Every structure is written in structure tokens, then in C-alpha cells.
Structure 1
Amino acid sequence: MQKWQGLLRRAAPCGFSLLCAMPMVSHAMSAEELFRRMAPSVWVIRPIDAQGKSLGTGSGVVIDQGRLVTNCHVLAKAASILVKHENVTFQATLEFPDTERDLCSIKVANFTAPAVQIAPVETLRVGQKIYTIGTPYGLEQTLSDGLVSALRRGPSETIEYIQISAPTSPGSSGGGLFDEQGRLVGITTSGMTGTAQNLNFARPAQWILDLPERGRLALAAYKKPEVAAGVPSASSPATVVASGPAAGRVPYLSESRQLAFRDFLGQPIPRAFAVSLDGHYGAAWNDKGRSTQAELSERALANCRKFASAECRLYMVGDQIVWHE
């Protein structure tokens, strides 16, 4: 926990509460000023496979000295990780994975890029102006603006997704979502493809503060750190494919998303898990005892359809696998 104290102090100077975080500036910045201040904290993430080939690009945000956060799905199948900003490149290793929330922290040695300040998601309002910085289609340091379109809540009534009108594209995943004061309020994660327009989403940035605890639990559960997200840890640069109990491997899901299913297996029954033919998933469980199995099945399918372009199907209902090709 000591190595995260700098981040916690910046984000929560009154203790572990984000509500008393002080803004970096007291005024709404222009787009030009915000980009100048925040762009040095957003880097390109490049996952590399075991043959040394690039698996694409994503984005990452500096959250502390030598640490960045990105989406876990950006790192899926990587044997090594590179972080890049203009002409500077560093090697990185996985630190803490939280595939359920699709947030992973990575470590970089001798890395001194400026860290962002985190603001709680409760500070956001629908209609508020926001900015994104990321790497859509490999185009480094792309600034976009938009509005908070909606604050989407999960079964526990907490905000799980920030819906925004600012465009996101492949490569934007893991980038920064900033308010007008330059505070990090979200990590951009996905957009709807196909005919839908301006349906883009981010995960709450305040979840970053939970990464040490949730990441340690995930690593402990799978014993070997590299198994936790199918990406390299500091102790082993090689990819280790997740394998294990019960239902085995879920079809169509990447290595990092296999762990999300394993997390799901620890949730109470009734529950449901849906999978799309293009590798997305949705889950729902009865944490408050108010939903029927049928309702949870529909909710899992609806959660899957938020991000999938292909058909979503139920994979598990309760403790029974119902998947059929």
C-alpha cells in the first residue's frame, strides 16, 4: 500500500474519501490549455505477442510515479508491454489486474511522466462538458470533446459506466476522460459499432483507488501473477494462458475476459453470464435478493448488447452451462 500513498494523497487528501479532492485549477480550462497540461500524462500502450509482433495499440494514463492504468482488454494475449510517448518508449509489466472492471495497472521503471489527479464520479452531471485524450486507430495524442450523456448504474445502484458523446475508436481504450478542471474522471473503454453514433463509455476513474486491494485478491486467487490477466508480470515476462476449474474456457472470450468469468463464478445464485460472438460479455447476479433468474438472464443479455456488435447468447444460468453453438 505504501507505493500507492502518493496517488491516494493526491486523490484523497482528507483520507480515503475522494469527495475532498482539490482540483488542479479552480477554473474551467480551454481545450488548448487542458491538452497542454494533460497530454504528457496520456501514453500509447502497445501489447506485443510472444513472436515480437504488435497486437495493436491502446492508451494509458499516468496515475503515479512509474505507474499507468489502462483497460485490461488492451493487454490481452500480450507477452510484453511497451508504453510510448512521441519518440520515447519504455518496457512495462503488469502490477494489478481487475478484469471484472476492465482496469489494469502497469509499472514502468525510471519513469517520471506527470501523474493526473483523480476526481470522484459523483462530481459529474449529465450535460457536463468533458474531454478525452487517447490513441484512436494509433493516432497518438488525439483530443476530443463532448458531453456526459448519461451515468449508467449497475445492480448495486453505483455508477458503473459514464456514457459520453465524445467519440472513441479502437486504440482509445485506456485513455483519459477529463473534466474542465483537468481532473481524471474516467478511463475510456468502448464505443458502440455499427449504425449507433456517439454511444461511447468510460469506467469511473475513482475505481483506480481500489486496484491494489482488488488486484492482490485476483493475483492471490490464481497464485501466479501472470495467470491473472494473461499478460506479463514483473516476475515472468511470458504469457501464461488462464486455465482452471468448473466451466473451463468460455468460447469467444479473450484471455483477460476469461478471468471475468471466473470472478463471476464467485457471485451468488441466481446469476447469469452472456457472451457475444465478437468477444464481449455481460453478467448479472442477485446481490440484493430482489431479482428472479429470468430477470437476471435478460439483464446479462442486455449488458452484453451494450458493447457487442454480434449476437449475444447466454452461457451460464445459475450454475448450469446452457451454451450451444
Structure 2
Amino acid sequence: MHGDPSPLDETPEAIAAKHRKSWLTLGGVVLALALLLAIYSFLTQPPPLPGTGETLSARQIKDVMTPLVGRLEGAGITGQSQFAGLAVTTGQGEMVTTCHSLPSSGPLQVIFQDGTSRAESARVNRALDVCVLKVQTTGRTSAKLRTGDPANGEKLYVVFIEDAKAAPRLVEARVVNLISEPGGTALKIDVSQKLATGAAVFDTQGRLAGIVTSPHSFGDFPVALSPSRIEQARAAAKKGGLSAQ
């Protein structure tokens, strides 16, 4: 009769076609879910840790840098607080900076992104120009100090601040050549910005690869003190093998 529904096709071929369609639909859903899960896992996985051999992005190195770096402030001749360079955390309660930038007397404060801590020089090593600071409270992590100095032409990232009160950010730099002197190795670096003394230098794995020294006597170009030099100062401070000079 007109309008009656068509009879169902129950032939083996028709049933097999229905099953194929159902499996294809289910397979598409499973594939879509797997793809979404993979994307979520990629977006939420933690970045590689510094020094694991993997190259970090500039954003990832910035995340590594932020809790490590502090701005130093000391009392000037007038007694008012003044900028004394930057410092970077190298251990629990320990930071390093350049010696020549430290005030000769008075309290020294470290201004972190999330607070302020009192600091004092644990070891003044004029020969290396690397001073180890004893800090009441440091950031939640410590820098991974690189073993071995950077090579000529190697890409680096340096902490840069626009002014004494500005938040630190990273700028790209490159090693021009290594400078050897009795106090240790220094790095001549190519960077367009004017850098603050004590500014941390990181390699592409996020490891601490030096600290900027400014002013200096090497010439009219940016210079960083090498990680081997930092390690010498830390080792001397720990065993008390060098007197303040």
C-alpha cells in the first residue's frame, strides 16, 4: 500500500554494511578522543628541567629565571637605598653577584619578584669578582650551574632590566670569545642592551652560564664571568679557603 514503510533489508550483505558503518563511526570517535588527549598531554606536560640535554624555549628559560633572580639594594652615601646590581640563586640561602657592585657597609636587601630578603656577603673574592651572598630567604628553586664554559658563537640568554625598578626579562646574546686571565675565564658577549652587573646568563638548556660584570677593565664590550669562575668562588666560600680581600 501507498505510504507503507519499506521492508528492512536483512540480507547478510546489508547487515555487514551496517556493522561496518557502526565500527567506522566508533573508530572515528576513538581517534578524535585520542587526538584530544594527545593535545592536552602536550599542552600540560611540564617543561624539561635545566641541564637534561634538551633545548628550552625562551619562554621556558624565562620561567626558570624568574624565581632565581633578585635585585640588590644597599644604603648609599646619603643613607638612602640605591641599586647595587642583580644576583642569582645558586643554592639554599645562597646567591652570587659581582663584588665591585656591593656597598662597603650597611644593610643589603634582595628584592625578589614575590618579596624581599636580607642579604650579607659570605665571601668577598676580589680576585674572581664573584661574591657569594648569604641570604635569609631565597626563591623556591636554585639555578643549575653549567659545568664547563660556553664556546665561541654559542647562543645565550641574559637577564635584562630597563631600569632599577623594572621587572627582569631575557634578551638573546652570543659568545664572541673567551678571555683568560689570572682570576679565571670571562666571556666576551655580543648583545645590544646595556646590562646590569650581576645579571644572570643562561644557556639554551636553562643552565646558569655566567654573570655579567660591569664596569670592567677588559674593553668597551659586554662581559660575563664564566660558570667555572662562579664555581671557584662557591667552593672557596664553602671551605673558607680564601680570606676576604
Shift of 1:52: 3.5
In structure 1, the residue matched to 2:213 is 189
Question: Are residue 162 (structure 1) and residue 187 (structure 2) matched?
Answer: yes
Shift of 1:45: 1.1
In structure 2, the residue matched to 1:177 is 201
Larger CA deviation: 41-50 vs 58-67: 41-50
1:130 to 138, 152, 156: 156
In structure 1, the residue matched to 2:132 is 105
Higher relative contact order (CA 8 A, sep 6+): 2
In structure 2, the residue matched to 1:143 is 170
| Runs of 4+ off more than 4 Å | none
Change (3 A) 1:33 1:111: closer
Spell out, residue by residue over 1:152-193, the C-alpha distance to the aligned partner (whole angstroms, 9 max, x if none): 1226xx9621011124536x1111111100011111112689
8 A contact 1:47–1:74 mirrored in 2: no
- What is the alpha-carbon distance in structure 1 between the residues aligned to residue 77 and residue 241 of structure 2? 27
8 A contact 2:121–2:132 mirrored in 1: yes
Aligned residues: 193
TM-score using structure 2 length: 0.69
Spell out, residue by residue over 1:248-291, the C-alpha distance to the aligned partner (whole angstroms, 9 max, x if none): xxxxxxxxxxx4xxxxxxxxxxxxxxxxxxxxxxxxxxxxxxxx
Shift of 1:112: 4.2
Spell out, residue by residue over 1:33-87, the C-alpha distance to the aligned partner (whole angstroms, 9 max, x if none): 1111222111111122475312323100000011110011121324110000235
Question: Are residue 63 (structure 1) and residue 87 (structure 2) matched?
Answer: no
Which amino acid in structure 1 is aligned with residue 210 of structure 2?
G
Larger CA deviation: 137-146 vs 204-213: 204-213
SS at match of 1:115: coil
Change (3 A) 1:35 1:66: same
- What is the alpha-carbon distance in structure 2 between the residues aligned to residue 51 and residue 140 of structure 1? 26
Question: What 5-or-longer segments of structure 2 have no aligned partner?
Answer: 1-48
Shift of 1:24: 2.9
Percent identity, aligned pairs only, is: 24
Shift of 1:30: 1.5
1:200 to 207, 219, 222: 222
Shift of 1:150: 0.8
Spell out, residue by residue over 1:90-121, the C-alpha distance to the aligned partner (whole angstroms, 9 max, x if none): 11111111111111111122434310011134
